[in-house]
Amino acid sequence: MVRLLRDLYPLILGLQEAHLSYIANTLEMNARTTAASYGSEAVLVVSAKGKRLFSSNEWDKAEADLPRLMPALHASWNEDLTLLSIDDRHALAIQSLQLGQPTLDGGRIYVLRKLSEPPNGSNIAADLVCFYFNKLTKREGEIVKLIFAGYPTQSIAEKLGISLGTVKNHRNSIYEKLDITAERELFLLLLGHLGYPTSRAT
């Protein structure tokens, strides 16, 4: 039996290495394809526990060039975002990692995008705030604009010079006034205001 196991060990080791190589190649291909869909080559993939699984050379360079990149990413880790503002020229597009591999699924793919204009200059967000002006206070309107610009709660607090708890209280008030329960529904309101069909019940 011992001899049989010794004979099988190289085969088992080879199969394991082939499997790991397949996962690595699939991971990289998925990451680069996702990045390309956003017109970018700077991409980072992390596991559900926050472990770095893959980063492109372009991402590594961006880390060195943009000191706010990783702090913003880490600060937003516990928030369910699809867009995260880094500065007036850069934002992160965020997607869930789904490869059919239990050890990898649940992670995230971050794609660094260059913006053609500052995200907080969104006329669309301002338009929606005006539409609901009779319901929202000035501060709540500012927070809605920043949410649409991709700012996480911590960054909103820092940008407005208020506490994290105050931002959360304002969010709750916004949700209550607009009769919604989550940030996703806020984006659905925006789409509905722009004339796009949504699945939200009215």
Instruction: Give the pLDDT confidence of 1-18 residue by residue, as tens digits.
Output: 555 555 554 545 444 454
- Give, in order, the Cα–Cα distances in Å from 156 to each of 75, 86, 98, 123, 150: 11, 12, 29, 18, 10
- Give, in order, the Cα–Cα distances in Å from 38 to each of 5, 77, 100, 154: 49, 21, 23, 26
Residue 94's DSSP bridge partners are 110
pLDDT tens figures, 150-200? 778 888 898 899 999 999 999 999 889 888 888 778 777 766 665 555 555
- Give, in order, the Cα–Cα distances in Å from 145 to each of 127, 128, 196: 10, 9, 19
What is the model's pLDDT at position 2? 52
What b-and-e string marks burial along 96-108, b requiring 16 or more CB atoms within 10 Å of the CB?
ebeeeeeebeebb
Check whether 129 has a pLDDT greater than 80.
no
What is the model's pLDDT at position 118? 42
Distance of CA 194 to the CA centre of its chain: 23
Domain ranges of the chain: 2-114, 119-193
pTM: 0.52
Residue 55's DSSP bridge partners are 44
What is the model's pLDDT at position 114? 82
pLDDT band at 28 (very low <50, low <70, confident <90, very high): confident
What is the model's pLDDT at position 16? 46
pLDDT band at 19 (very low <50, low <70, confident <90, very high): very low
What is the model's pLDDT at position 120? 42
pLDDT tens figures, 30-88? 777 777 767 788 899 888 888 888 889 999 999 999 988 998 888 777 777 777 888 87
Looking at the domain that runs over 2-114, which CATH code has it been given?
3.30.450
What is the model's pLDDT at position 165? 93
CATH topology assigned to domain 119-193 = Arc Repressor Mutant, subunit A (1.10.10)
